[in-house]
């Protein structure tokens, strides 16, 4: 049976801890913030004095810190996980970080016979607590098989996506799409307001009238080549060649500085023209 440790029990880490406790797991816990660690102890975790101390007892360690630098510090630092890790231990990096950071940790860990996987989280704390978390996991398949039961104590799904670092890439892709939608929506709302539609009314309109088209991800096979030969989207001439450039033209006519819409208008026209060529 694995002994579980969790390093980082802030917003996301405390949500994972809550799911572990519901699964009758009594993990070890460490955080640089004494208040967060005290709250973890109150939630049923056994506190450790450092990441190294935790790693001396844990065989599987969830790392839930925020940045690349924090991951490197809590794994490779003087009192980090690798300073105390047992041979054969498995470190699960849950942070949204660069794949190069994951590989750097894995290379150092391999010299001590310690395993590393990227197990990135597609969720927010409230959804984690409701049991709606999805993990994207990269690394050796045999270690995924080992980690899978543990991951499912905290999530509804753990999806293996490929070699080490691929989950980092997948998480950044997912966040890029969400962030891009927000940025584009912000510019669209500014365009709407300048054109006479108050933004709350515009948001209600867009929400209530999107049902017929849905998300492109719900019907991606009709736009992208499902054979995997070419990721270039197949597009018609109306939206890309005409409508998005028209939105760009309207923004200019209204005197708005909307850089994303400006570039989308140019990119849409280029893509449509490339597919018209023989």
Residues 101 and 164: beta-carbon distance below 8 Å? no
Q: CA–CA separation, 138 vs 190, rounded Å?
A: 40
Looking at the fold, whether 133 and 192 belong to one and the same domain comes out as no
- Residue 255 to residues 2, 188, 243, 251: CA-CA distances in angstroms? 62, 14, 18, 6
- Considering the domain architecture, whether residues 17 and 106 belong to the same structural domain is answered as yes
- Structural domain ending residue among the three candidates 126, 149, 164: 164
- Average pLDDT of the chain to the nearest whole number: 94
Listed residues 164, 195, 227: the one ending a domain: 164
* Domain limits for position 69: 4-164
Give the CA diameter of the chain: 68
Q: What is the pLDDT of residues 81-109, one digit of tens each?
A: 999 999 999 999 999 999 999 999 999 99
**For range 111-124, the mean pLDDT:** 97
Separation between Cα atoms, residue 22 and residue 11, nearest integer Å: 17
CATH of the domain at 20: 3.40.50.720
Asked whether residue 147 falls in the same domain as residue 235, the answer is no
Residue whose structure tokens are 């989280």: 121
Q: How many domains does the chain have?
A: 2
**Residue 212: what pLDDT?**
56
Which among 71, 63, 70, 67 has a CA at the least distance from the CA of 89?
A: 63
CA atoms in the 13 A half-sphere facing the CB of 167: 29
Check residue 214 and give its pLDDT: 65
What pLDDT digit, counting tens, does each position of 41-77 carry? 999 999 999 999 999 999 999 999 999 999 999 999 9
Is the domain of 149 the same as that of 195? Answer: no
Q: What is the pLDDT of residue 233?
A: 87
Same-domain status, 24 and 39: yes
Q: Are residues 38 and 128 in the same domain?
A: yes
Position 256 pLDDT exceeds 80: yes
161: part of which helix (H) or strand (E)?
strand 157-162
- Enter the pTM of the model: 0.92
């Amino acid at each position: 049976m694995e002994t579980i440790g969790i390093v980082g029990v802030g917003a996301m880490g405390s949500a994972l801890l809550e799911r572990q406790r519901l699964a009758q797991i009594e993990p070890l816990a460490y955080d640089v913030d004494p208040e967060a660690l005290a709250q973890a102890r109150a939630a049923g975790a056994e506190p450790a004095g450092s990441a190294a101390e935790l790693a001396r007892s844990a065989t599987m360690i969830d790392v839930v810190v925020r940045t690349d630098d924090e991951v490197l510090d809590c794994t490779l630092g003087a009192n980090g996980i690798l300073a105390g890790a047992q041979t054969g231990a498995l470190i699960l990096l849950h942070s949204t970080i660069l794949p190069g950071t994951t590989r750097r940790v894995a290379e150092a860990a391999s010299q001590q016979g310690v395993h590393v996987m990227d197990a990135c989280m597609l969720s927010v704390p409230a959804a984690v607590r409701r049991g709606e978390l999805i993990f994207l996991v990269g690394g050796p398949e045999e270690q995924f098989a080992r980690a899978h039961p543990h991951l499912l104590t905290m999530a509804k799904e753990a999806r293996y996506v490929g070699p080490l670092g691929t989950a980092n890439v997948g998480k950044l892709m997912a966040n890029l799409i969400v962030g891009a939608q927000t940025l584009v929506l912000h510019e669209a709302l500014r365009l709407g307001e300048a054109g006479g539609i108050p933004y709350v009314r515009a948001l209600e309109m867009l929400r209530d009238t999107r049902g017929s088209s849905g998300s492109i991800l719900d019907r991606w096979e009709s736009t992208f080549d499902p054979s995997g030969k070419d990721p270039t989207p197949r597009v018609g001439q109306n939206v890309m060649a005409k409508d998005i450039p028209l939105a760009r033209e309207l923004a200019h006519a209204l005197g708005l500085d909307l850089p994303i819409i400006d570039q989308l208008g140019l990119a849409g026209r280029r893509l449509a023209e490339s597919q018209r060529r023989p």
